[in-house]
Amino acid sequence: MQNHSRRTLIALLGASVASPAFAQTPLLDGLTQADARTGIRDAMGLAALNATTRLAQPEAFWGNPAVRIPLPGILGQTQRTLAGFGMSAPLDDLQRSLNRAAERTMPEAGRLFANAVRTITIGDAIDIVRGGDDSATQYLRGRTSTRLTSMLRPPMTEALTQSGAFTLLRSALREVGLASMTTDLRSEIISFSTAKALDGCFHFIAEEERAIRRDPWRRTTDILRRVFG
């Protein structure tokens, strides 16, 4: 039944190229192209909401190796070197602070993803339905990653400040003899943490998308059941 519905949905979406008005024409079980687009938007909206809600929980980044944010560049290299001598504690504290800051940005990330999902068109939906289990996630990543990175950078900067990460950075750099690099590394940490926070979002959005496609119990609305049933 699922394969039959998938073939029908692909045919339904493909007809939009020939006739935009066809988008409102009921076909199998009353499903229209507009329904299909709505279903895909709903699926991705739900996936993004679940992913960002999950990552907003305490220790969500730090406690999961799949999304844990490392220290960038020379900080990470120094941390690994010092760990061999049991002296990496200041940089370990900094890393944990970065991960806590990422948690704080997740409500804003969720809003950004919700806005991005609304831009999915019927044409986009054709490629998404024809693609694999994470095709909608890959669509979002390809179309929105640069813009989302730019928009998430200010809340990430604020979160890093509030978490005490920059205070820890100055202290850690003094202890390891890199105090002169504080300004440059501050900017690098902001950019790196923002990108890695979004990587974590996309990681779990892909998981959520696969679950919605494969598990009928994850299709929580009528339109999701009709599109992916």
DSSP H helices in 20-134: 33-55, 73-83, 89-104, 106-117, 122-130
Q: How confident is the model at residue 164 (pLDDT cuts 50, 70, 90)?
A: very high
Q: What is the pLDDT of residue 30?
A: 57
Q: Does 32 fall in a domain?
A: no
Q: Does 59 fall in a domain?
A: yes
What percentage of the chain reaches a pLDDT higher than 70? 85
Contact status, residue 94 vs residue 71, Cβ threshold 8 Å: yes
Residues making up the chain, counted from first to last: 229
Q: Does 210 fall in a domain?
A: yes
Q: Which domain holds residue 83?
A: 46-218
Q: What is the pLDDT of residue 25?
A: 45
Structural domain total, the chain: 1
Q: Does 17 fall in a domain?
A: no
What's the distance, Cα to Cα, between the start and end of the chain in Å? 7
Residue 210 scores a pLDDT above 80: yes
* Cα–Cα distance, 110 to 78 (Å, whole number): 34
- Name residue 131's amino acid: G
Mean pLDDT within 203-208: 95
Q: What is the pLDDT of residue 8?
A: 44
Q: Does 4 fall in a domain?
A: no
The more confident residue out of 225 and 134 is 134
Q: Does 15 fall in a domain?
A: no
Q: Does 147 fall in a domain?
A: yes
Q: What is the pLDDT of residue 175?
A: 86
- Which distant-in-sequence residues (6+ apart) come within 8 Å of 65 by Cβ? none
Q: Does 98 fall in a domain?
A: yes
Within a 10 A sphere around the Cβ of 63, how many other Cβ atoms?
11
Q: How confident is the model at residue 31 (pLDDT cuts 50, 70, 90)?
A: low
Q: What is the pLDDT of residue 182?
A: 87
